[in-house]
């Protein structure tokens, strides 16, 4: 799942935790015009703009010293929001019974996208009820996952 750069996660984890936040995950979207490194943080009571600024300053200094990303990029530090991204099995487990969206690296059962109720998850697979049908999707094929907010 999320073929993330583990080095970046390891690099950021201690810094973010030392500031009192939980590092939920990262997204590195690369393009020829420059990349975006998006870092998702959370804490009890939610995230404010000031929290993002504080973490951004800390990570900018770290990135300047370590220089782990080739080329130009912009750093964005963000709260998970209502449509929170799901990066880990633990995060998936917290939202069992909720509606989620999955995007896969490659087609599975002739689909790359699924939207439905998360039924179960483990190290190997995600079980999602989508269009009144249950799909068992290999966890390793999940490129992105997000919670679908219910209003």
Stretch(es) of the chain classified as CATH 3.30.300.70: 6-78
Give the strands of the sheet with 22-29, arranged side by side: 22-29, 35-42, 73-78
Instruction: Give the pLDDT score at 32.
Output: 76
Q: Two tokens at 69?
A: 């990303």
Does the structural domain 89-147 have CATH classification 2.30.30.180? yes
Averaged pLDDT score across all residues of the chain = 92
Residue 4: its pLDDT value, please? 52
CATH 2.30.30.180 domain position(s) in the chain: 89-147
Compare 113 and 32 and report the one with higher pLDDT. 113
State the CATH architecture for 6-78: 2-Layer Sandwich (3.30)
Give tens-digit pLDDT for 34-93. 789 999 999 999 999 999 999 999 999 999 998 888 888 899 999 999 999 999 999 999
Question: What is the structure's pLDDT at 1?
Answer: 46
CA–CA separation, 79 vs 39, rounded Å?
8
């Amino acid at each position: 799942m999320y073929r993330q750069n583990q080095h970046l996660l390891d690099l950021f984890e201690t810094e973010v935790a030392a500031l009192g936040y939980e590092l939920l995950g990262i997204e590195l979207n690369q393009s020829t015009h420059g990349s975006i490194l998006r870092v998702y943080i959370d804490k009890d009571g939610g995230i404010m703009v000031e929290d993002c600024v504080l973490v951004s300053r800390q990570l900018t200094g770290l990135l300047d010293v370590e220089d782990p990303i080739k080329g130009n990029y912009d750093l964005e530090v963000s709260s998970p929001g209502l449509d929170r991204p799901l990066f880990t099995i633990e995060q998936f487990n917290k939202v069992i019974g909720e509606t989620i969206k999955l995007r896969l690296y490659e087609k599975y059962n002739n689909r790359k996208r699924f939207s439905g109720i998360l039924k179960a998850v483990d190290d190997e697979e995600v079980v999602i009820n989508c269009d009144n049908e249950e799909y068992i999707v290999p966890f390793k094929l999940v490129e992105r996952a997000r919670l679908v907010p219910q209003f």
